[in-house]
Amino acid sequence: MGGTQSLALQQGKGPHQVGCTDVMVGHTWQGLLLRLFYPCLPQGGAEQPLWIPRYEYCAGLANLTLLSCSAPLISLALGSCRVPVSWNGPFKPCSTGYPLIIFSHGLGAFRTLYSSVCLELASWGFVVAALEHRDHSASATYFCTAEDGREEWIPYQQVPQGQKEFYFRKKQVHQRAEECVRVLRLLEDISSGKSVPNVLHQDFSLSMLKGSIDLSRVTVMGHSFGGVTAVLALVKEPRFSAGHPSCCRCAVALDAWMFPLENALYPEVTKPVLFINSEKFQTPESIAKMKRLSSRNSQTKIITILGSVHHSHTDFTFLTGKLFSLIFGARGTLDPYKGLEITSQAALAFLQKHLNLQEEFAQWDNLLEGIGDSVVPEAPFCHPNL
Residue ranges covered by each domain of the chain? 17-382
Q: Which of 133, 174, 223, 310 is the catalytic position?
A: 310
Element (H, E) at 349: helix 336-355
**Topology, domain 17-382:** Rossmann fold (3.40.50)
Span 120-149, mean pLDDT?
Answer: 95
C-beta of residue 340 within 8 angstroms of C-beta of residue 120: yes
Per-residue pLDDT at 230 exceeds 60: yes
Specify the pairing of strand 32-40 against strand 127-131.
antiparallel
Active site residue 354: no
Q: Who's near 247: CB < 8 A, 6+ residues apart?
A: 216, 218, 239, 240, 241
Mean pLDDT of the chain: 91
Residue 240 pLDDT: 47
- 3-class DSSP state for residue 377? strand
- Residue 7: name the closest of 277, 329, 314, 327 by CA: 314
Check 174, 255, 278, 325 and give the catalytic one.
255
Q: CA 326 to CA 333: how far, in whole Å?
A: 13
DSSP codes of every residue in 60-124: HHHHHTT-GGGHHHHHHHHTT-B-SSEETPPB---TT-EEEEEEE--TT--TTTTHHHHHHHHHT
Task: Clarify whether 255 is annotated catalytic.
Answer: yes
- Does residue 2 have a pLDDT over 80? no
Task: Tell which wins on pLDDT, 87 or 242.
Answer: 87
Average pLDDT (318-343) is 81
pLDDT tens digit string along 275-313? 999 998 999 999 999 999 999 999 999 999 999 999 999
For residue 181, pLDDT over 50 is answered with: yes
- In this predicted structure, the answer to whether residue 3 has a pLDDT above a threshold of 60 is no
Query: What does residue 25 show for φ and ψ, rounded to 5 degrees?
Result: -125, 145
Which run of H or of E encompasses 251? strand 248-254
Q: Where are the alpha helices (DSSP H) in 243-335?
A: 284-296, 322-327
Interatomic CA distance for residues 329 and 311, integer angstroms: 7
**Residues 131-153, mean pLDDT to the nearest whole number:** 94
Q: What is the structure's pLDDT at 80?
A: 92
Query: What is the β-pairing status of strands 32-40 and 17-25?
Result: antiparallel
The 10 Å CB-count burial string (b at 16+, else e) for 189-224 is ebbeeeeeeebeeeebebeebeebbbbebbbbbbbb
Q: Which of 70, 137, 224, 312 is catalytic?
A: 224
386 pLDDT above the threshold of 60: no
The pTM for the full model equals 0.94
Cα 218 to Cα 98, 120, 350, 355: the distances in Å are 10, 17, 13, 7
238 — pLDDT class (breaks 50, 70, 90): low
Instruction: Return the pLDDT at 322.
Output: 65
Q: Does the active-site annotation cover 224?
A: yes
Beta-strand pair 273-278/248-254: parallel
How many angstroms separate the Cα of 57 from the Cα of each of 62, 78, 140, 179, 323? 8, 11, 6, 21, 18
Q: What is the mean pLDDT of residues 83-96?
A: 95
